[in-house]
Chains A and B, each alone.
Chain A
């Protein structure tokens, strides 16, 4: 299949999913028996009918649900996600403020996860059923079994409180001002501005949460890499490569690994979108001003526009990463190209 056809076909699958997500976010937001009026207006004006009615009219809460939904979709098409009830900022602006923090953290996390996960997986597969294999597999299992909040607290008390090797919670120390905004990543922006002290502070604060996020992911990646590589190593073409006299290392790196990577790439994509969207626990312990914390606060204060807008963006990220993975398949898996 030609690349542009494949690309268009994948793109078409994205639209119904996104529509479905808006519908689902809307249904959840509306099925909530809780009243946003109570959650967002001060106690003393709740009996004042005029204030309450104005509030409902302002946020469109007085219109029938279906009309609310279509109004929302219409605004969405113009890039308008509505205004957050809690922060009183446009949701799009809120999300733009909170997203870079999550993006930076998730990216550092996934880099650690891929490095450790693929490394452990390959080593485990090559030296399968040795002590080394068992040790690495147990590590991977620990990574997926320990609650992130426990790892975070252990990490903070050992490496921050006791040893002082890393910075504390938050993106930047109070003594530092944010570097001039370019990418929204404090580490990169500080480097671009040549602010070395700011860079090292930002970096020392992101290392620990990134490793903790990455350790869960690395456990999953290691398991998939190991089983996928073992599976491929048993295939005929790897045997052929070996019987041609190729050294073991050549057989693994040149023939087995590229083919074993297909399921691994899927898992990496899935994990990355999870990190980008669902790191609520890590963000709350490390006081990280990201999407997860934003959504957490939106949900607990029944801030419907923020919940809907956040869900939309989260779903779009999820769908976007999957789309990217599908595109990668095209290059990794020759069967797609020639079918």
Chain B
């Protein structure tokens, strides 16, 4: 279990950064990636959807820094715009998934009994299903577009949070301050949402941070399989899939692929640093 507050020392951001230089690298990469996505309309030399078959499949050059794809679209512009889909998609999946999971887990833990039992069995079932196959079935069902890819991922994402938060709520329920609240006449929902939950929320937030990279990776995977954004849209996974087997035109898949890889790596650098920081057994070794 993670108890950030149990640390005898005050948490210092500078200490944290010094001990984990990779965390700093991660933060910088994420800031750069988000800035590039936001400023894509300004930075991109061309419209990412502009086709020009006269210049198709050109290798990287001064004019087309990342080359052009099979329809003569400028890869650099497409990679810049790609962040506008993939980054928010990953963030939304984790945000909504963790909110739903926290809510369900908190209620299951607090009410207990049969509801708790049903909820926990349900989470087990969802977790026993391989993520991508379940997401595949859902996306195939609702029709392939960005919205359904996100819905599908949220469906497979919430159980992890539900289980963690439930455990924390069970633990917190037995604490004296909850007893005190009850003695003061507070009602169930008030106790749960105003006192217990704020005390359990930080582990859920940490779990969410660790998860963003994986969410982006899975979204890109769905998109690669054609179960996300429509074919022409500049999305990284989608762009890689249209470059499959074009070994001589490596720029058509390498740049969007690396855009995903470095972003996920950056999130994982931060996650790894956080894990080190929060696992007191490992902190001083």
Tell whether B178 is near chain A: CB-to-CB under 8 Å.
no
Interface 1/0s, chain A 211-253, versus B by CB < 8 A?
0000000000001000100110010000000000000000000
Tell whether B33 is near chain A: CB-to-CB under 8 Å.
no
- Residues in A neighbouring B224, C-beta threshold 8 A: 147, 149, 281
Interface pair B131/A149, CB less than 8 Å apart: no
Interface pair B128/A153, CB less than 8 Å apart: no
Q: Interface centre among A17, A149, A234, A318, by most B CB within 10 Å?
A: A149
B: interface residue count bin: 35 or more
Interface 1/0s, chain B 258-284, versus A by CB < 8 A?
101100110111001000000101100
A141 to B132, CA, bound (A): 21
Interface 1/0s, chain A 124-142, versus B by CB < 8 A?
0000110000000110011
Tell whether A289 is near chain B: CB-to-CB under 8 Å.
no
Interface pair A281/B132, CB less than 8 Å apart: yes
A296 to B139, CA, bound (A): 11
Main secondary structure of the interface of A (DSSP, over half): helix
Tell whether B1 is near chain A: CB-to-CB under 8 Å.
no
- Residues in A neighbouring B267, C-beta threshold 8 A: 145
Tell whether A280 is near chain B: CB-to-CB under 8 Å.
yes
Tell whether A32 is near chain B: CB-to-CB under 8 Å.
yes
- Residues in A neighbouring B268, C-beta threshold 8 A: 141, 144-145
- Residues in A neighbouring B142, C-beta threshold 8 A: 33
Tell me how many residues of A have a C-beta within 8 Å of chain B: 54
A-B contact pairs, 19 of them (CB 8 A): A17-B128, A21-B129, A24-B125, A28-B138, A138-B22, A141-B269, A141-B272, A145-B261, A146-B261, A147-B237, A148-B221, A149-B221, A150-B257, A153-B244, A154-B257, A280-B221, A285-B244, A300-B136, A319-B128
Main secondary structure of the interface of B (DSSP, over half): helix
Interface pair A318/B130, CB less than 8 Å apart: yes
Task: State the Cβ distance, B159 to closest chain A Cβ, in Å.
Answer: 12
- Residues in B neighbouring A280, C-beta threshold 8 A: 132-133, 136, 221, 225
Interface pair B220/A24, CB less than 8 Å apart: no
Interface pair B136/A17, CB less than 8 Å apart: no
Tell whether B39 is near chain A: CB-to-CB under 8 Å.
no
Chain B's closest residue to A315 (CB) is B128
